[in-house]
Amino acid sequence: MSVNHTKINASIGYDYVFDEEEGDAPSEESLTDAIMFTGLLGLTNYNTSISDSAPVALTSTRVSAINMTLKASMPVSETMPLTIGGKFELFFNPSLSESPVNSGNASTTMTSFGFFGVYKLTEKYNLRGDFTITNINNRFSGTATRANPAGSGKQELMTEQFGIEYLF
């Protein structure tokens, strides 16, 4: 049995940069030395694809929601080009769909939080690491098409990402 999980997110937002030395409008050079607050609003889809089996053991799911992301980051020190931060995601009106069978109508709740670090290598390149935990909880009610319907379901996702950012 194979499992494939994807997250697709499209958001727009605003960065508020606060620099104590230069007031609320820092120069481009001092952005790495400033405290930054970010607010994002967007749409998120979590898709889990399960290979077919007979009888059906697990179902493929799609969870869609409107999300609001709040982030804050700050430099570690004045001499080291390292910024650390945290984020929290709120999800509004999440909906779950299952296939090929379902356990009834789902009442879904979602939360996500994480931490990140960015190390400035050059003017155009950064090293970045992210750690995120997401919980998706479902309670089922109503008529199900599954032979043995579930009363509840939970997905716990832990994501670790490391990579290089290119800034253009």
CATH number for position 52: 2.40.160
Instruction: Work out how many domains the chain is built from and give that number.
Output: 1
Strand pairing of 82-99 and 60-75? antiparallel
Cα–Cα nearest to 133, from 102, 88, 167 = 88
**Mean pLDDT score of the chain:** 89
Q: Which domain holds residue 148?
A: 3-166
pLDDT lower than 50: segments of the chain: 26, 30
Q: pTM (2 decimals)?
A: 0.81
Helix ranges, 72-123 (H) = none
